[in-house]
Amino acid sequence: MESNDYNDPAMIGGCSVPIRVNRKSKPEPTIVKVNEIPIGSSEVVIIAGPCSVENHEQLMETAKAVKSAGGVILRGGAFKPRSSPYNFQGLGEEGLVLLKEARKVTGLPIVTEVMDTRLVELVAGYADILQIGSRNMQNYPLLKEVGMLRKPVLLKRGMMATIEEFLLAAEYILNQGNDQVILCERGIRTFETSTRNTLDLGAVPMLKHLTHLPVIVDPSHGTGHRWMVPSMAKAAVAAGADGLIIEVHYKPEEALCDGQQSLSPAEFAKLMADLKKIAQAVGREIY
């Protein structure tokens, strides 16, 4: 087969869409099921939790707050991709053990990042969804490794990746036989410095147009400011996102990582109530 047969250059100006992720090759949406939770259906799925797992109390208190406000999947990093080697790097396997306990206590499935091919088996032994972070979106050996699993993968858009590069990264995972991929828009790097990243909400309808895979939005890393998170979370749902991943910390001011963009439990509960109204206004429900 010619390499062009895998692409659809006519689909959209300048962006060719590889075959396995292309909506033309599979018009019906892919619904990624995490236990009973359908990601990519008419219901909007809210994932929340701390940037990093820090200790027992922090994770359990935050997880309970997420659950009681209506979050249905718990996020938390155990292996953290920090820009500085001197910053908190995460608890490693100890963090995974705490996430497992939080899942037992709350019943919430867990999503956590894997950064290294050598750790895929370990992390997959704990996680319900494996996260590939922005910095690793083009780590092709890692994409192939999680492609060999039969477990959901949350693929975050690289901070300098075009939509085409993002879809090609997803294609690597599908090409290994794992079609349970959730795409996550988390902001891209632009000339703008007032926000941590420029949240590209236009990517939501574009990706929904080009691919059958579910699309979620991370308004926390997408803005870097706690006070902006509710606005952009609501805008993302209005734009057609299938879910959100939001940083919540039981004491944001004490967080070891990303406290400035983490919602308090009260802020998260208020947002959940508002999201219900936005979802209804666009013909959807919050799962």
| Closer to ligand PEP by Cβ: residue 20 or 157 | 157
Instruction: Provide the binding-site residues for ligand PEP, judged by CB under 6 A.
Output: 51, 77, 81, 113, 133-135, 156, 186, 218, 221
Under a CB-based contact definition with an 8 Å cutoff, are residues 47 and 72 in contact? yes
Give the interface size with Mn ion as a residue count (CB under 5 A): 2
CA distances, 251 to each of 35, 70, 75, 184 (Å): 29, 19, 16, 26
In whole angstroms, what is the distance from residue 15 CA to residue 12 CA? 6
Q: How far is the CB of 112 from ligand PEP (least distance, A)?
A: 9
H-helix or E-strand containing 215? strand 215-217
Q: Which is nearer to Mn ion, 147 or 230 (CB)?
A: 230
133 binds, among ligand PEP, Mn ion, none (CB under 5 to 8 A by kind): ligand PEP
Which candidate, 69, 153, 147, places its Cα nearest to that of 111?
153
Q: What are phi and psi of 226, to 5 degrees?
A: -50, -45
Q: Which of residues 209-268 bind Mn ion (CB under 5 A)?
A: 258
181 CA to centre of own chain: 10
Pick the stretch among 14-22, 33-41, 43-51, 237-245 that binds Mn ion (CB under 5 A). Answer: 43-51
51 part of the interface to Mn ion, by CB under 5 A: yes
- Decide: 198 and 236 in contact? Cβ < 8 Å: no
Q: Which does 134 bind (CB under 5 to 8 A by kind): Mn ion, ligand PEP, none?
A: ligand PEP
Least separation, in Å, of the C-beta of 38 and ligand PEP? 22
Residue 219 CB, shortest distance to ligand PEP, in Å, is 11
Nearer to Mn ion, 21 or 127 (CB): 127
Of all residues in the shown chain, the one whose CB is closest to ligand PEP is: 133
Task: Answer for the pair 277, 263: CB distance below 8 angstroms, yes or no.
Answer: no
Where in 8-27 is the site for Mn ion (CB under 5 A)? none
CB-wise, 51 or 272, nearer to Mn ion?
51
Nearer to ligand PEP (CB atom), residue 187 or residue 265: 187
Residue 202 is given by DSSP the state: T
Q: Does 111 bind Mn ion (CB under 5 A)?
A: no
**Which of Mn ion, ligand PEP, none does residue 81 bind to, with CB < 5 to 8 Å depending on kind?**
ligand PEP
CB of 197 to ligand PEP, least distance (A): 8
Token pair, residue 96, equals: 């995974």
- The partner in contact with residue 186, picked from Mn ion, ligand PEP, none with C-beta cut-offs of 5 to 8 angstroms by kind, is ligand PEP
Report the distance separating Cα 71 and Cα 45, nearest Å: 8
- Listing DSSP states for 22-87 in one string gives BTTT--SPP-EEETTEEETSSEEEEEEE-SB---HHHHHHHHHHHHHHT--EEE-BSS---SSTTS
**Amino acid at site 155:** L
20 binds, among ligand PEP, Mn ion, none (CB under 5 to 8 A by kind): none
Q: Which residues bind Mn ion (CB under 5 A)?
A: 51, 258
